[in-house]
Structure 1
Amino acid sequence: MKTRSIQNKSKSNFVNMGPIRLRQPLPSFAINNVDPFILLHHYGPYEINAKSNPFDLGPHPHRGFEPITFLIQGEQLHRDSLGNESIVKSGDVQWTTAGNGIVHAEGPTKEFVKKGGLLEGIQLWLNLPASHKMMEPNYQHVKNEDFAAVTSQDLKTSLKIISGTYKGVKGKIETQTGVQTIWGNSLEGSEYFIEIPKKHDVLIYLIKGSVFVNEVEHLREEGDRMFTFKQDGEGINIKATADSEYLVLSGVPLKEKVVSHGPFVMNSQQEIQQAIQDYQKGKMGYLAE
């Protein structure tokens, strides 16, 4: 099968988000977005204990997109203005559809802070089309054990299907647009070809390990950690040179103007101003500290 050509490469450099230091491969100097994906943060691993809790995000609003968390290790509490409260654990995915507005908070649970441990995750922002930006908000939390996976014949590669359908396996997350999200693990020496829907733009992000993509380009922790691809092939070939973990994210491009400001992602500056006013007036709901 023909592999897709690599379009862009990105490192995963550290940035400061307020008091939090984390990796940001998207957007970067090289890549503004991979439509419909507009931001990817890789936070941690942070050492969490009673004296150190660097990732505790108090109540804050969102509108116009879907903030998504892939929790790699640790434990964190989600609360939102819809009344949802859930404990997200290692391997779980939480998928918030902000729609016309939601206020949420997240951080390590009190029990996790007390016992201590490492917290690490991926925060992904997925754009909503203009027709869905003012829809009613929604929250989905799927536990690690409830996801189905596609496994290679040699059992060395396992692809957990989060959303979309791959090899007949349907992800548990219901999406607003055509999006396929795969959370992959490959043992050293494994090789696997991941098929990508023809009309999707796609990226691969390396969480840990080392892999060759299409046999020639290297993703590794101390180098390029994210590749994007052209729409000129049927998929991407992954060969692991160490035990590796990665995300393969693809979706139908929206091809709409994006105007973002802080926690809001809309289609015009006027809509951003309206979002700010609506939040200040309490139209996105409330959440106690």
Structure 2
Amino acid sequence: MIEMVIDARRKDLGGFEVGRVLPFHARRMVGPFIFLDQMGPAEFAPGSEAINVRPHPHIGLSTLTYLFEGEIMHRDNTGATQAIRPGEVNWMTAGKGVVHSERTDPLKKTQGGPMHGMQAWIALPDEAEEADPAFYHHGEDGQPAYDNNGMFARLVAGEAYGAKAAVQTSSPLFYVHWELAEGLRTAPPPGKSFVGSGGYTERALYVAKGEIEVGDRLFHAGQMVVLEPNAEPTVKALQPSSVMVLGGEPVGPRIIWWNFVHSRQERIDQAKADWKAGRMTLPSEDDLEFIPLPDVPSTPEPAPDPVVNYP
């Protein structure tokens, strides 16, 4: 039933912790999801730096930011400026290249407050890797939701349980937020045990808070449970729990280096050269600083722990 368990690697980034889940040395991707971070949970003191991610580039992927608590201001060189709050979705498609920043609004910095959320990167399929960059924001009403008898479920992106989220994806995937009361039982979207059977080829559960039981095994906050393709498990919450359920169809091998994802090494090398030479435009409302290209070697294999896009 369970193919693998991945423990998030916690990283202290100067008063703010993230948990790196994907990529993992033994599991690079789940469906098209090639990167998954849990941001926080954290409580920022009034006047602290909070989130302060300087402009940086991406190619070959879409980023998906989703918050449980807090607020982040997004700016990019498509002209988008958009705050994201809990239950909303910021979806940015990098394609052939985009530059963006993520920061805490100055007023919010003076007030302090909580921060807890998820950031995912979705690798684009071959035909979309060089798409024009774009940004989309969807409020809570853009995600189908269910709330009854101790279970809250929101379809953040993709298709699952007969519903479809507002954000337009480039390949088959699903991304669901569960809030489960103690003792509640539920199940992930179905798997695909053989071609033509319906369901999804790759699926995983990430416990952001609480503790769950899958089969006869217990899993706690900070653990990802990668399911076997033909598994149809029942999930039971052993305490109030927040769980992200995700997966989809593989898009093929991908190289990941720093913030760049692509199927071809030469395209990664070109993106590195473009960023170093200043050929990628900074956001017009955030163009006074940027994150420089890291001084680390490129490799034909995806790095097991890419550079984090945080201060």
Structure 2 counterpart of 1:102, one-letter code: V
Distance 1:19 1:212 in 2: 32
Q: Does residue 210 of structure 1 match 2:207?
A: no
1:238 alignment counterpart: 235
**SS of the residue aligned with 2:36?**
strand
2:292 alignment counterpart: none
Query: Shift in Å at residue 52 of structure 1?
Result: 1.9
Query: Shift in Å at residue 17 of structure 1?
Result: 6.3
Query: Shift in Å at residue 51 of structure 1?
Result: 3.4
Alpha-carbon displacement from aligned partner over 1:119-162 (angstroms, at most 9, x marks no partner) = 1211111111122110011112112344221345xx22121012
Larger strand percent: 1
Question: 267-276 or 162-171: which moved more?
Answer: 162-171
2:31, 2:201 within 8 Å by CA — same for their partners in 1?
A: no
Pairwise CA RMSD:
2.1
Distance 1:132 1:19 in 2: 37
**SS of the residue aligned with 2:31?**
coil
Q: Under a length normalisation based on structure 1, what TM-score does the superposition of the two structures give? A: 0.89
Question: CA 1:197/1:95 → structure 2, altered by over 3 Å: closer, same or farther?
Answer: farther
Query: Shift in Å at residue 285 of structure 1?
Result: 2.5
**SS of the residue aligned with 2:234?**
strand
Counting only pairs closer than 5 Å after superposition, residues 142-157 of structure 1 correspond to structure 2 as 142-151=138-147, 155-157=149-151
1:187 alignment counterpart: 181
Question: CA 1:65/1:108 → structure 2, altered by over 3 Å: closer, same or farther?
Answer: same
Structure 1 counterpart of 2:165, one-letter code: G
Alpha-carbon displacement from aligned partner over 1:76-98 (angstroms, at most 9, x marks no partner) = 10000000001111222211111
Instruction: Identify unmatched segments of 5+ residues in structure 2.
Output: 193-199, 289-311
2:56 is aligned, of 60, 65, 69, to 60
Distance 2:179 2:11 in 1: 26
Query: Shift in Å at residue 28 of structure 1?
Result: 2.9
Query: Shift in Å at residue 34 of structure 1?
Result: 2.0
Structure 1 counterpart of 2:236, one-letter code: K
2:142, 2:165 within 8 Å by CA — same for their partners in 1?
A: no
Distance 1:171 1:240 in 2: 25
1:274 alignment counterpart: 270
Aligned residue pairs: how many?
278
Q: Under a length normalisation based on structure 2, what TM-score does the superposition of the two structures give? A: 0.83
Distance 1:268 1:164 in 2: 26
2:224 alignment counterpart: 226
Distance 1:195 1:258 in 2: 25
Question: CA 1:13/1:276 → structure 2, altered by over 3 Å: closer, same or farther?
Answer: closer
1:201 alignment counterpart: 202
Counting only pairs closer than 5 Å after superposition, residues 43-122 of structure 1 correspond to structure 2 as 43-122=39-118
Distance 2:243 2:94 in 1: 25
**SS of the residue aligned with 2:132?**
coil
Quote the sequence identity (%).
Answer: 27
Distance 2:14 2:270 in 1: 24
1:47, 1:53 within 8 Å by CA — same for their partners in 2?
A: no
Question: CA 1:167/1:21 → structure 2, altered by over 3 Å: closer, same or farther?
Answer: closer
Structure 2 counterpart of 1:217, one-letter code: R
1:177 alignment counterpart: 171
1:141 is aligned, of 137, 148, 153, to 137
Query: Shift in Å at residue 101 of structure 1?
Result: 0.5
Question: CA 1:260/1:210 → structure 2, altered by over 3 Å: closer, same or farther?
Answer: same
Distance 1:160 1:195 in 2: 13
